[in-house]
Each structure stands twice: as structure tokens, then as C-alpha cells.
Chains A and B, each alone.
Chain A
Amino acid sequence: MKPIIDLKNLCKSYGSHIAVDKLNLQIERGEIFGLLGPNGAGKTTSILMMLGLTEPDSGSAIVCGHDASRDPIEVKRKVGYMPDNLGFYPQLTGLENLLYIARLNAMPEKGIAEYARGMMELVGLGAASDKPASTYSRGMKQRLGLAEVLIKAPELIILDEPTLGIDPAGVKEFLELIKSLQREQGLTVLLSSHHLHHVQQVCDRVGIFVEGKLLATGDLPTLSSELFASTGIEILIQLTRLPKDADALKSNFSGWPEINSMNVNGDRLQFNTTGEITPKLIRRIIELGEDIRAVSQKQYGLDEIYEKYFENNTNITLDNESIKRKPLFGNRRK
């Protein structure tokens, strides 16, 4: 099946600042893809190019089978986009805002009000639908934004920083809503965020986007195994009390070929191994007469992945900042 988003060598620069640099990305139908990157990495620019709202300097963006820069109307018919700073018409009620968007999407007038009301219920704004949008809280605006995205029955929804500015409980609820909608309706979701944990909760695949470049894509296990293949598996075993003889314990394991290193720190034993040998380790420790309270195996989450990429990119970031500061003394334009 053809990918729903197909970006080829997409480039965009503002003056001397390169916002997006040769972006290649394919997103399949039905997946939740997380575009992860710090602020100013070019996520929003890439998204705007996918919707044909910004002209790319070079390269092509095929979204839902249409070229985004040549045929943006067709793309926008099929794609629901929620921008990062959501603004609604403050003088209209939430429902009226939603109805306006529904009408712009050429929905027939008959039954549109009930349909919109149902959509408000779906995103959990049923009680607030007749209040002016100016009274909405940030979380409610986010929900209204989602309702607007969904009301056009899109094939693909693009959410730009959807979790920005909502409290943790709200984030969790919001992400669950997205996930359940995706599952029930087979939508494709592309969401951008600089918040790793949010992305980690819902995304099937993530792309790490730094300084206009897509550094890596893949699901989390793939990413972590790619990155941390050399570092091995960390196993932490907590004993109920201090080991009787730490040195004997150490020497006992020193002969094992799978163990890279071992560390005894009070009642905690730290192993770094190349293979999956946790059961073997536990059995041996019990045989040695120690009691185990807890065993944990360290999983590499996005935090580590993210950090790892940023470690490699700190220099670039600094360079970029100096570019941003320069215009004060030079020409005014970016």
C-alpha cells in the first residue's frame, strides 16, 4: 500500500536559516507517528509544507495521494490539522465555531447541528458547547480543536504540539482519546511534540527531528536497540540484606562470559550483560544463599534516546543560536 505521507527531499530555508533540510519521511496508513524534536527544530514548518500552507524550496510532499504544493485544496479536504496555538472566534460559541468549520468543509446544512453536537459530546465538551469560545480553558480549546479536526471526517490528522499547556491529567485523557479514536476509526495520526513521554504513550513510530534533519525513525524498541546495542543490558538486583561475602560473590560471577561488568553497592548488585541472562543470574544468587527483594532490568525509553541525540547535537544547537542573534546587528530579516 502507498504511504499516506510521502516526503522526498523536502527543503525550506528562511534567509540563511535552514528550517528543514532534505526531509525524507514515509508514514503508512493507520499508524500513529510521533515527530519528536526540540522547539525550533522545523516540525511546524514541515507540517505546514505537508498541508501546502508553506511553499517548499525544493522537494515534494505527497499527502493522501496529492501533491501538497500543487493541489493543497484536495490535501486539506482529507487532512485535519490542529495548529499549536489554537485560536477560535471568541464571539462565537464553541458549537458555532465548530459549525463554521463544518460548513467550510461543504457539509450539507441538513442535520449539521445535531452532528456537530454529537462531535462535541465525543470530545467531552457537550456541556460547554453553548458557551462562548472566549471562556474556554486551554484544555477545552484543545478538545474543540480536536472536534474541528474530526468533523471533516479526515483520513489523516496532524496535531501540532497537541499536549502543549495542558495539565498532566488532561494530557493523559487527551492522548487516550486520540488513541481510541485512531483504533476505532482507523485514522492515521501524525503528532509533533517536544514532550517525550507523551509521544511514548501513544505512538507506534517516532521520528527524531533536530535542526531540520530527521535523525532516526522507527518504533521504540528498534530505536533503542539501534542506539544501545553496544551498551548492553543493565540488570539491577536488590537483596534483602547486605551480602555475606561481597568479594566471593564477585569472583563467582567474574568467570561468566556474558557479563561485561559487575558492581556490588551495599545490598544492590548491578550487572551489565550482553545477553538475556536474568533468570540464570537469579538462580545462581539464590543458590549462593542470598535472598532477593527485587529484580529490575533497565529499559531504554525515549528520554535516553532523546538525550543521546542531543548529546551529539549540542554543538549544532549553539551554532544555530548564534545565527539567530546576529540579525540584531545585520539585516533585519530572518
Chain B
Amino acid sequence: MKALSASRYLATEENKAKAGSQLSPFKVMVSKEVSDHVRSWRFILLLALVVLTFFASLYISMSNIRASFSNSGDPDHAFLYLKLLSATDGSMPPFHVLMSFLAPLLGITMGFDAINSEQNSGSLTRLLAQPIYRDNILLAKFYSAMLIISTLFISLTLLMIGGGLLFTGVRIEPSELLRILGFTLLTMVYVGFYLSLSILFSIAFRQAATSALTSLGIWLFFTVFYPILVNLVIRAFLPDPAYLSQSQLMGYNELIMDIMRIAPGQLYSDAATTMLMPSIRSLGPMSMEQLSGAIPSPLPFRESLVIVWPQLSGLLAGSIAFFALAYYIFMRREIRS
């Protein structure tokens, strides 16, 4: 024992001399979190689900790419790679619609027990007794999940582009690449929104099951019940359209759309559709005056980006707000279990 403790001292002295060459605690935490996620069964399961969805929708769009590419009635028909992501023969929803369901699930899975499982098992106290900042723990949880998600989506997209190149031999347009990357980024932000929401619940609730169910409940509410609810309420309050003037009707339409856009899923699908279909020029209703003289042609990437900017910033703001709230609660939290 004495020999060991002597060697321990030597090692410590050596370590102290070498200090500065090692990873920062934040990076250590991130690498541990990433390896935890990657090895966990539920992540593997969800990964399989996302990859399966991706390849299934890709297969379907590949199989009728010829038809949609030569459909000259569609102003977007020349965007082969966008068609790969969004075209469908009706047997299965396109990838971005499926993602609006799956992405929240992915975010919730990665975050719902981020803090409370550590607190319940007692490892949080041990972790906090190390010389690290408390906020780094939260940040590491968020960052590592986002790292995995972005790796996943970027590699899926690149795989799709590569596969498309190989399969069709058609050159990819720069604007297509930008749109696809924009769509990927959008999906990542959408996952991040639910991730920060579920991390917030993992701090607020002591039980992992409670936080998972609450996050899932919110997701379900916004995807299923919220549109129904809005419909019901609108139908009760809206005056008979027959008695409304054109401009009043437009105003009401605008209002309904704005109410619908409280749901993050709506924001995502609005933005994703705009990104993947360059001919979409507005997300709201348009008057005849606006439409008259417009040639149904694709918009440049920048214009599409301008259209989805409110959606994108809304999602980002939501994620940041939830993360900030989580941060606020966690910093003032008693850590004893």
C-alpha cells in the first residue's frame, strides 16, 4: 500500500506539471454523454426508426422519380434532389411530414431523463462535487444530444445526395444543396426545441416517467388535439363566411393561421414545405391582386429563406426560452436527493 501511495504521489506531481494539456471538463462530460446515448437501447431503437423512415420514403420517391421529374405542370419538377425528399406516390407521407412526428419523439427520448435520472441515482451529487460549473452539466446534456442529432441528420442527407448522384447521375444544383441543408438545419432546430422542453421537464419533475409523459403529452396535444381544438373554437366564433367581405375573410384566415402557428409542428411543416418546394411564395392566403401576373416559377433560395425566417426564429426562440428556464431552475435547485 505504501509503495502505491508513493507512486500515487509521484503521479500526482507529474500530473500537476502536465496540467493544461488535457480536455476541459465540459468536453469530458460531452464525450461521456455522447457515448451513453449511442450505447443506450432507446436511442438505437429510435435511430432505426428514423433511418427506416428515411429509406422507405427515399425508396418510394426513387421509384417514381421519373414521373415527377417529367411532370411539366409542376413548377418544381426540375429540382431532382428536392423531389427525392418530398415526392411521393401517396402510399406513404413524404419524409418531412413523417419527420414532423418523429423529430419530437427523438428530442424527447434524448432529454426526458437527463437530470432526474442522475439525481435519483445519486450520481448528480457526486458530479457536482467535482470542480465543474453547474451550468456545464446542463449545457453538456443539451450539446451532446444536439451533436448526435446533427450528425445523424447531416449524414442521412449526405447519404441521400450521394445515393441520388449515383442512382440518377444528375448534377446537384447549388440552390438545391442549400435548400436541403436548410431543411436539415430546420429539422435539427425542431428536434432541439423538443429536446430543451424535455430537459426542462427532467429538471422540474423528479420522476423520469412523469417528465416523459408530460413531454409526450405536449407533443400529442400539439400534433393531434390542438388543430381540432382550434377548429372547434373558430367554428363557434367565426361569423358566417357568406356575409363577410373579401378582405374580412382574408383577415380571419390570417388569424386562424397565426393561431395554428403556436404549435411548433405547424411551424416546422410550414418551413419544411417552403424549403423543399421552391414554388411556394407565401405561407398565408394571397389575394387575387397579389397573384395576378405572377408566373408559377420557383423562388430563389434567399427568397424562400425570407419566407421561413419567422418560423425558424420562432422555433429557435422557443428552444432558447425553454433552455433558459431549465437553466434558471437548475441553478437554484437543491441538489440533495
Known contacts A86-B126, A89-B123, A108-B19; is A77 also within 8 Å of B4 by CB?
no
Inter-chain pairs besides A104-B131, A105-B131, A106-B131, 16 sampled, C-beta below 8 Å: A54-B334, A73-B132, A73-B133, A81-B129, A87-B120, A87-B121, A87-B123, A91-B39, A100-B28, A107-B22, A111-B11, A121-B4, A122-B1, A145-B126, A153-B15, A185-B5
Instruction: Say yes or no for A83: interface residue by CB 8 A criterion.
Output: yes
A109 contacts B131, C-beta separation under 8 Å? no
B15 contacts A83, C-beta separation under 8 Å? no
Instruction: Tell me the bound Cα distance from A281 to B252 in angstroms.
Output: 108
Of all chain A residues, which has the CB nearest B122?
A: A87
Q: How far is the CB of B127 from chain A (nearest CB, A)?
A: 8
Instruction: Say yes or no for A44: interface residue by CB 8 A criterion.
Output: yes
Residue pairs across A and B with Cβ atoms less than 8 A apart, 18 shown, are: A73-B132, A80-B129, A81-B129, A85-B337, A86-B126, A87-B124, A89-B123, A101-B126, A106-B22, A108-B21, A109-B22, A109-B23, A110-B18, A121-B4, A153-B8, A180-B1, A181-B5, A184-B5
Known contacts A86-B122, A118-B8, A122-B4; is A103 also within 8 Å of B129 by CB?
no
Q: How far is the CB of B303 from chain A (nearest CB, A)?
A: 48
Of all chain A residues, which has the CB nearest B11?
A: A115
Interface residues of A in 134-186 (CB under 8 A from B): 145, 148, 150, 152-153, 180-181, 184-185
CB-CB under 8 A from A44, the residues of chain B are: 336
Instruction: Say yes or no for A51: interface residue by CB 8 A criterion.
Output: yes
A90 contacts B8, C-beta separation under 8 Å? no
Instruction: Tell me the bound Cα distance from A121 to B7 in angstroms.
Output: 13
Instruction: Say yes or no for A309: interface residue by CB 8 A criterion.
Output: no
**Interface size for chain A: under 10, 10 to 19, 20 to 34, or 35 or more residues?**
35 or more
Instruction: Say yes or no for A88: interface residue by CB 8 A criterion.
Output: yes
Known contacts A108-B15, A118-B8, A122-B8; is A51 also within 8 Å of B22 by CB?
no
Of all chain B residues, which has the CB nearest A158?
A: B129
CB-CB under 8 A from B23, the residues of chain A are: 103, 106, 109
Instruction: Say yes or no for A268: interface residue by CB 8 A criterion.
Output: no
CB-CB under 8 A from B133, the residues of chain A are: 73
**Interface residues, chain B, with chain A CB atoms under 8 Å away:** 1-2, 4-5, 7-9, 11-12, 14-15, 18-19, 21-25, 28-29, 32, 36, 39-40, 118, 120-133, 334-337
A184 contacts B15, C-beta separation under 8 Å? no
A107 contacts B8, C-beta separation under 8 Å? no
Q: How far is the CB of B90 from chain A (nearest CB, A)?
A: 44
CB-CB under 8 A from B5, the residues of chain A are: 122, 181, 184-185
CB-CB under 8 A from B131, the residues of chain A are: 73-74, 76-77, 104-106
Q: How far is the CB of A92 from chain B (nearest CB, A)?
A: 8
CB-CB under 8 A from A150, the residues of chain B are: 8
Per-residue interface assignment for chain A, residues 270 to 304, with 1 indicating a CB less than 8 Å from any chain B CB and 0 otherwise = 00000000000000000000000000000000000
Of all chain B residues, which has the CB nearest A184?
A: B5
Instruction: Say yes or no for A203: interface residue by CB 8 A criterion.
Output: no
Of all chain A residues, which has the CB nearest B129?
A: A81
Known contacts A54-B334, A73-B133, A185-B5; is A106 also within 8 Å of B126 by CB?
no
Instruction: Tell me the bound Cα distance from A48 to B14 in angstroms.
Output: 31
Instruction: Tell me the bound Cα distance from A48 to B334 in angstroms.
Output: 10
Instruction: Tell me the bound Cα distance from A119 to B124 in angstroms.
Output: 22
A100 contacts B32, C-beta separation under 8 Å? yes
Known contacts A48-B336, A76-B130, A122-B4; is A104 also within 8 Å of B12 by CB?
no
Q: How far is the CB of B335 from chain A (nearest CB, A)?
A: 6
Instruction: Tell me the bound Cα distance from A79 to B12 in angstroms.
Output: 15
Instruction: Tell me the bound Cα distance from A54 to B333 in angstroms.
Output: 9
Of all chain A residues, which has the CB nearest B36?
A: A91
CB-CB under 8 A from B123, the residues of chain A are: 87-89
**Which residue of B19, B22, B122, B337 is within 8 Å of A103 (Cβ)?**
B22
Instruction: Say yes or no for A53: interface residue by CB 8 A criterion.
Output: yes
Known contacts A83-B125, A109-B22, A180-B1; is A103 also within 8 Å of B8 by CB?
no
CB-CB under 8 A from A105, the residues of chain B are: 130-131
Q: Which 5 A-B residue pairs are closest in the complex by CB-CB distance?
A: A87-B122, A87-B121, A81-B129, A77-B131, A87-B123
**Which residue of B8, B22, B121, B132 is within 8 Å of A115 (Cβ)?**
B8
Instruction: Tell me the bound Cα distance from A83 to B119 in angstroms.
Output: 12
Q: How far is the CB of B242 from chain A (nearest CB, A)?
A: 54
